[in-house]
Amino acid sequence: MMKKQTLLLVATGLLALSMNSAFAENSDLPEMTLYKDPYCGCCTGHAEYLKEQGVNVKMIDHPNISQVKMDLGSYKGASCHTIVMGDYVIEGHVPIASIRKLWNEQPDIKGIALPGMPLNSPGMGPEKKGSLRIMQIENNADVTTVFNIE
């Protein structure tokens, strides 16, 4: 009986450690604030995707999301929602790997964008690897350079 209890404790401990390391990859990401239209459901889908990745997301319904994009300088790469993470702006349904790349590399840009609402992006349906072009939002708001392909 004692061996079974010990084995169970060890197994439980290993499970806890493996779950901890699964979320450790994202633990260095700061809280994100997601601005969205009050009636947009896919924005909530992207927020849920980010939360599943271990990210703390605060959602704010905004009656004039276009003004938020103008104020933050992400309007040239517009999508349905805008995220603020630290000093960066993230426009649209950007996958977690590109968000992590942005945060880890800390480039001198305003942020990143996945313009439009691609059906195969997180929160919009099944992902199709290699089909998403994540764009840089330059400090002057231009969106011309590819940041990452996912």
Q: How many CA atoms lie within 13 A of 20 on its CB side?
A: 6
What sign does the CA torsion over 27, 30, 33, 34 have? negative
Q: Answer for the pair 84, 10: CB distance below 8 angstroms, yes or no.
A: no
Confidence category of residue 48, pLDDT binned at 50, 70, 90 = very high
- Indicate the average pLDDT of the chain: 86
- Of the given ranges (5-19, 66-80, 98-112), which has the lowest mean pLDDT? 5-19
* Residue 40: per-residue pLDDT: 87
Confidence category of residue 8, pLDDT binned at 50, 70, 90 = very low
Instruction: Report the distance separating Cα 63 and Cα 75, nearest Å.
Output: 16
- CATH classification of 29-149, choosing from 3.40.30.10, 2.60.120.650, 2.60.40.10, 3.40.605.10? 3.40.30.10
Instruction: Report the distance separating Cα 37 and Cα 28, nearest Å.
Output: 28
Token pair listed for 147: 């940041």
Instruction: Report the distance separating Cα 42 and Cα 24, nearest Å.
Output: 26
Tens digit of pLDDT for each residue in 83-124? 999 999 999 999 999 999 999 999 999 999 999 999 889 988
Domains of the chain: which residue ranges?
29-149
Is the per-residue pLDDT at 10 higher than 50? no
Residue 41 contacts by C-beta under 8 Å, 6 or more apart in sequence?
none
Express the helix, strand and coil content of the chain in percent, nearest 5 each: 35, 20, 40
* Residue 6: per-residue pLDDT: 40
